[in-house]
Structure 1
Amino acid sequence: MLATGSAGVYAGSNLQQIKAFLNYGIAIQVNGTAYAPVDGSGKKLTPITYDGLTYLPTRAIAGALGVPVSYDAVANKVIIGSDSGSTGGSPTSSVKKSKNLPADFPVAGDAIITDLTDSVVDGKKKAVLVYLTKDSIETMGKKYTDYVDGKNITQASKVIDKSSMVITGKLGGKSPVSIIGGLSASKAGYTEITITWSEG
């Protein structure tokens, strides 16, 4: 089960209807700690049991383990870990592969990418980037405040404190952006940043 949040188009010949069950009786533990998977909006996700097997939400579990996962809409392919197939390399390499996010958009130097989705909706490029960093909310808040202010953000709303950050508005008065940060629930000592951007 993959909760990618992307609006892909699937050919009917690739889909087969099945009868599966939401399994509320399964508990998940990650590295010794109870874990409840949620989607990008904070909605709880439930494991699915089908034909004697249990399926977990890929994106949420990968995020809990600090493993990058992305969706290639063109190839209709889920990519877990490095796109090259190796487990090494820079954790920020996935950012550079985004075709849609502005090239100068700041990302923490130690970023661990947990979600990267590029899409095109109604002819406009969109990007969703989620990553973990050891940088504090205050540090990232200043970085992103400086960035959006330099891009002449309009309809801006900025709320930043020690435990959370929310920056929204339109870059250059036309490109909607949302930058949300908070303490990671899945990786102690890390901050989770979620960036949603759309071409104006």
Structure 2
Amino acid sequence: MKKKLTAVALGAVLTLTASAGVYAGANLQEIRASLNNGLGIVVNGSAYTPKDGNGKTLAPITYKGTTYLPVRSIGEALNTSVTYDAKNSRVVIGGGTSSGSTGGNTTTPATPSTGSSSVQRPTTIPSDFPLPSDAKVYDLVEGVAGGTGTPSATFKYTTKQDLLSLGNQYKEYFAKKGATSKSEEVSASAISIIDAGGSFAVTVDAKPGTGSNKGLNVVDIVWSGK
């Protein structure tokens, strides 16, 4: 039987892989699947290797005879926008949304902005949420989490600030906000934080950039709260 090829949200609900600690719930079902490293991909007649925002190669996943591709990477290859509608918990492919959408989410271009001297702050994060002065925000999706009405934001940014000091700054900030559940690993080469408190939940993942982001650090943020 010919295998069906299906594009789905891979990599933590688009950019949200690190957000499992924030959004895990009854709608998630654990499965056993296989990385299909032997499958080649051709887009418009040319060989294509899907990669994430940091330049890391992504492999298709095969599950029960169906092969799943990373939707954001494939969308970029086809010059088609892919966004995450947090309020309605769905992936939106192509411009605009269906009539059932409230239009409460906003997105930025899929690549970092350049030449800007000011930080583009997401509107749904607290005004004192730490962002370096040289931060270039991209892949921004804002809305509300689930049906709770809680403001949420997922985004990436690049910065030249060193990861050790940045990670410690985030640890201190989340502690002040009352984090009671913590998983924090901070070093000069990486940041991995999953914190939560009574009024917020957050994940921060960061590492040195590659490709066009070489020489910068790339930070992934998933925020839900006030």
Query: What TM-score, normalized by structure 2, do the two folds share?
Result: 0.55
For structure 2, which runs of at least 5 residues remain unmatched after alignment? Answer: 1-6, 16-38, 60-69, 83-95
Letter in 2 for 1:90: S
Confirm or deny that 1:24 pairs with 2:49. no
1:174 corresponds in structure 2 to 199
Name the residue aligned to 2:33.
none
Q: Is the 8 A contact 2:119 2:137 kept in 1?
A: yes
- Following TM superposition, by how much is the alpha carbon of 1:165 offset from its aligned partner in structure 2, in angstroms? 0.8
Code of the aligned partner of 2:141: T
- Is the 8 Å Cα contact of residues 108 and 138 (structure 2) preserved in structure 1? no
Q: Distance in 1 between matches of 2:74 and 2:110?
A: 22
Out of 109, 113, 120, the position equivalent to 2:137 is 113
* Change beyond 3 A, Cα 1:24–1:138: same
Cα distance in structure 2, aligned partners of 1:180 and 1:127:
14
Aligned residues of 2:207 and 2:219 also touching (Cα < 8 A): yes
CA distance in 1, matches of 2:183, 2:106: 36
Counterpart of 2:176 in structure 1 is 150
Number of residue-to-residue matches in the alignment: 154
**Residue deviations 1:106-157, cap 9 Å, x none?**
0011111122111123122211121000111112112111211221211111
Is 1:163 the counterpart of 2:189? The answer is yes
CA contact (8 A) 1:24 1:47 kept: no
Tell me what 2:159 maps to: 133
Quick one: distance in 2 between partners of 1:156 and 1:128?
A: 19
Q: Aligned to 1:188, which of 208, 214, 222? A: 214
Question: Once the two structures are aligned, what percentage of the paired residues are identical?
Answer: 23
- SS of the residue aligned with 2:117? coil
User: Does 1 or 2 have the higher relative contact order (CA < 8 Å, sep 6+)?
Assistant: 2
Q: With structure 1 as the length reference, what TM-score do the two structures score?
A: 0.61
Displacement of 1:99 in angstroms is 2.6
Q: Distance in 2 between matches of 1:78 and 1:141?
A: 26
Q: CA contact under 8 A between 1:91 and 1:113: conserved in structure 2? A: no
Q: Structure 1 pair 39/165, CA: closer, same or farther in 2 (3 Å)?
A: same
- After the TM superposition, which parts of structure 1 deviate over 2 Å for at least 4 consecutive aligned residues? 3-6, 25-28, 35-40, 42-48, 56-59, 71-82, 86-91
Mapped to 2, the partners of 1:188 and 1:163 lie a distance apart of 14
CA contact (8 A) 2:40 2:47 kept: no
The 1:38–1:87 alpha-carbon spacing in structure 2 relative to 1, beyond 3 Å, is closer
Give the one of 64, 75, 78 matched to 1:55. 78
